[in-house]
Structure formats: C-alpha cells, structure tokens
C-alpha cells in the first residue's frame, strides 16, 4: 500500500468511513468529555490502528483543547500548576496552538518552564515590533509595563532585530548591563518550532557576590530564559527575565540594608 492510500484506507469507523492520519490529527475536540468518560468518546483505541497511546487520556493537544485538558496533560508531564500560573500558561498555549497543528510535550515543557520559573516582575513585556532587511540597520519598538502598571515605549536601531530590541529595552530600564552570554535553541523540529533563549548579563555597577570556593568577591551575573515561536520575542523574554532577576536582587539588598539600619538605630 502506497503513502497516498494512508488517508483513505484504514480501520472502519462510524458509517463505514475509514480512519486515517488526517482523522487522527484532527481528533482534538471534546477533550473535557474525553477526560471524564473516555469510553463514550473513544470509538476506537490508538492500539487498534497500530499506534502507541501517548497518555492514558490519549489526547493530542491542539487549538481546540481547553484549560482542563491542558491541566491534565501538565499533570501527566509532572507539573501541578493552577490559578494564575495555569491561566497565563493557557493563554500562551492557545497562542502557540493557533499556529501549530499539534502542540508536543517538548513545546509544553518549554512553555511551562518559561512561565513558572520567571523571577519577580519588575518589568513586563507588552509588545515588540521589529523591522529588518538586507539594507540598513534593524529597528525595534518595545513597550514595557512597570511594576505600577505604567507604560513605557522606546525605539532603537541595531545590527540585527534582537540587538535593536535589547537597546530599546535599555533605553526604558536605564540600568547599564553587559550581555555576557546569549544562546538560542529550537525545542522541536520544523518551521513552527518553539525557540528557547538563555542570556547571562552582568550589571556595570558591579553587584558583588562571594565565590563559593575561594571566598573572593566576584561580579554577580544574572541569567534569564525565554520561549516563543518568534526568535525575537523569545530573546526579549530572556533579557527581561535576567533584568528582573538583577533588579529584584538589588531591591532585596536595599530592603535588607534599610531593615539593618532601623535595627541598629533602635538598639542605640
């Protein structure tokens, strides 16, 4: 049997219709009912047509999948998330699912890792627009939201779209940093793969920490990770995450110094 016959020849389903690859890929509806009453919705099992069951529910997540199906899948992957974390993850999942036929386990792990392990929010990405081409410099416009809900917009040019976006962020945050490390990886294959970015920054005002082995003071570095289908957005998320870590660390140091000063004055 040739490859062209796969979509039309297979196990007979309802009304004599055959079940093939196209039918399997499209079977992402009624996930809530499927989770609660599998036998009602599962007319045939994956094993009957030579496929392995990826999970007990047998559900492939897609753009029609709901919050309940996402939560069940994340539990299966070892992530027990709820509340705002689940809401935020679901919003990002729907954005990805709208551009991909099926969302893989690797996609979900990348999204939840980016969502759950973000630092204290000092700055939040609202929007980024970039323009680039073979002629001239790339330009970027970035809108960030501060901790009080205020909007800040800046534009900049750079040697590439990521460089331009980073420079626009620097204009808003106004904290001089050095980009020590930048790495980009694709979680899955294909043009619709999710990109994960990791950056390492160091503040130019030399936030020091003590070396674990030598005990000597060293300039502290802060890492950030981001995940998105767009490389620029993934890179911006990672950069803002690293900045938030650094600024959050500074804020904690300042608060600690204030408490120590008050304690000292109270004891005098």
pLDDT tens by residue, 83-134: 888 888 888 788 888 777 778 777 787 777 665 555 568 999 999 999 998 8
Does residue 232 form part of some domain?
A: yes
* Distance set, CA 116 to CA 72, 83, 108, 187, 243 (Å): 17, 12, 12, 17, 17
d(CA 171, CA 216) in angstroms, rounded, equals 33
d(CA 154, CA 158) in angstroms, rounded, equals 13
Tokens of 109: 């792990």
Examine the domain organization and report whether 136 and 104 are in the same domain.
no
Q: Which domain holds residue 185?
A: 123-256
d(CA 27, CA 43) in angstroms, rounded, equals 11
Domain count, the chain: 2
Residue 30 has pLDDT above 80, yes or no: no
d(CA 186, CA 17) in angstroms, rounded, equals 38
Q: Within 13 Å and on the Cβ side, how many CA atoms surround 260?
A: 6
Does residue 157 form part of some domain?
A: yes
Examine the domain organization and report whether 101 and 128 are in the same domain.
no
Per-residue confidence (pLDDT) for residue 113, from 0 to 100? 66
CA angle (83 as vertex; 80, 86 as ends), nearest 5 = 60
Per-residue confidence (pLDDT) for residue 203, from 0 to 100? 87
Per-residue confidence (pLDDT) for residue 38, from 0 to 100? 54
Residue 175 has pLDDT above 70, yes or no: yes
Mean pLDDT of 74-78: 77
Per-residue confidence (pLDDT) for residue 71, from 0 to 100? 86
* Distance set, CA 220 to CA 169, 203, 250 (Å): 21, 8, 11
Q: Are 138 and 159 in contact (CB under 8 A)?
A: yes
Residue 77: which residues within 8 A CB-CB, separation 6 or more?
105, 108, 109, 112
Question: pLDDT-based confidence at 155, cuts 50/70/90?
Answer: very high
Residue 58 has pLDDT above 60, yes or no: no
Residue 211: which residues within 8 A CB-CB, separation 6 or more?
217, 218
- Token pair 């998320």 is found at 237
Per-residue confidence (pLDDT) for residue 233, from 0 to 100? 95
Does residue 262 form part of some domain?
A: no
Q: Are 70 and 90 in contact (CB under 8 A)?
A: yes
Query: What CATH code is carried by the domain that includes residue 205?
Result: 3.30.160.270
Per-residue confidence (pLDDT) for residue 126, from 0 to 100? 96
Residue 28 has pLDDT above 60, yes or no: no
Residue 50 has pLDDT above 60, yes or no: no
Most confident of 206-210, 249-253, 259-263: 249-253
Examine the domain organization and report whether 138 and 251 are in the same domain.
yes
Does residue 265 form part of some domain?
A: no
Residue 194 has pLDDT above 50, yes or no: yes
Per-residue confidence (pLDDT) for residue 229, from 0 to 100? 87
Examine the domain organization and report whether 147 and 94 are in the same domain.
no
Q: Which residue has the higher pLDDT, 14 or 64?
A: 64
Examine the domain organization and report whether 144 and 240 are in the same domain.
yes
Tokens of 205: 């005002």
Examine the domain organization and report whether 87 and 141 are in the same domain.
no
d(CA 204, CA 60) in angstroms, rounded, equals 47
Residue 73 has pLDDT above 90, yes or no: no
Mean pLDDT of 4-14: 41
Residue 186 has pLDDT above 50, yes or no: yes
- Token pair 């204290």 is found at 120
Among 99, 116, 133, the domain-final residue is 116
Taking only Cα atoms into account, the Rg of the chain, rounded to an integer number of angstroms, comes to 24
Per-residue confidence (pLDDT) for residue 20, from 0 to 100? 47
Long-range contacts of 231-234 (CB under 8 A, 24+ apart): 231/162, 231/184, 231/195, 231/197, 232/128, 232/130, 232/140, 232/161, 232/162, 232/165, 233/125, 233/128, 234/184, 234/194, 234/195, 234/196, 234/197
Mean pLDDT of 46-69: 63
Q: Are 226 and 114 in contact (CB under 8 A)?
A: yes
When the pLDDT of each residue in the chain is averaged and rounded to a whole number, the result is 74
Percent of the chain with pLDDT over 90: 28
Examine the domain organization and report whether 30 and 143 are in the same domain.
no
């Amino acid at each position: 049997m040739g490859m062209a016959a796969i979509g039309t020849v297979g196990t007979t389903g309802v009304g004599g219709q055959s079940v093939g690859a196209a039918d399997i890929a499209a079977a992402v509806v009624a996930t809530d009912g499927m989770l609660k009453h599998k036998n009602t919705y599962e007319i045939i099992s994956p094993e009957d047509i030579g496929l392995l069951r990826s999970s007990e529910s047998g559900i492939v997540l897609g753009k029609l999948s709901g919050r309940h199906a996402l939560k069940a899948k994340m539990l299966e992957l070892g992530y027990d998330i709820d509340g705002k974390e689940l809401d935020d993850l679901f919003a990002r999942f729907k954005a990805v699912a709208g551009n991909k036929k099926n969302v893989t386990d690797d996609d979900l792990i990348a999204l939840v890792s980016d969502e759950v392990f973000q630092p204290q929010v000092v700055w939040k990405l609202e929007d980024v627009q970039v323009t680039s081409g073979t002629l001239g410099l790339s330009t970027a416009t970035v809108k960030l939201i501060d901790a009080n809900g205020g909007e800040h917009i800046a534009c900049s040019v750079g040697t590439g779209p990521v460089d331009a976006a980073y420079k626009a962020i620097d204009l808003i945050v106004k904290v001089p940093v050095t980009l020590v490390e930048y790495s980009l990886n694709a979680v899955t294959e294909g043009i619709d793969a999710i990109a994960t970015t990791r950056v390492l920054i160091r503040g130019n005002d030399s936030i020091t920490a003590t070396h674990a082995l030598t005990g000597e003071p060293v300039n502290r570095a802060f890492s950030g990770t981001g995940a998105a289908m767009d490389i620029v957005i993934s890179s911006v998320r990672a950069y803002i995450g690293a900045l938030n870590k650094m600024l959050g660390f500074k804020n904690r140091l300042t608060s600690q110094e204030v408490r120590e000063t008050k304690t000292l004055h109270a004891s005098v």
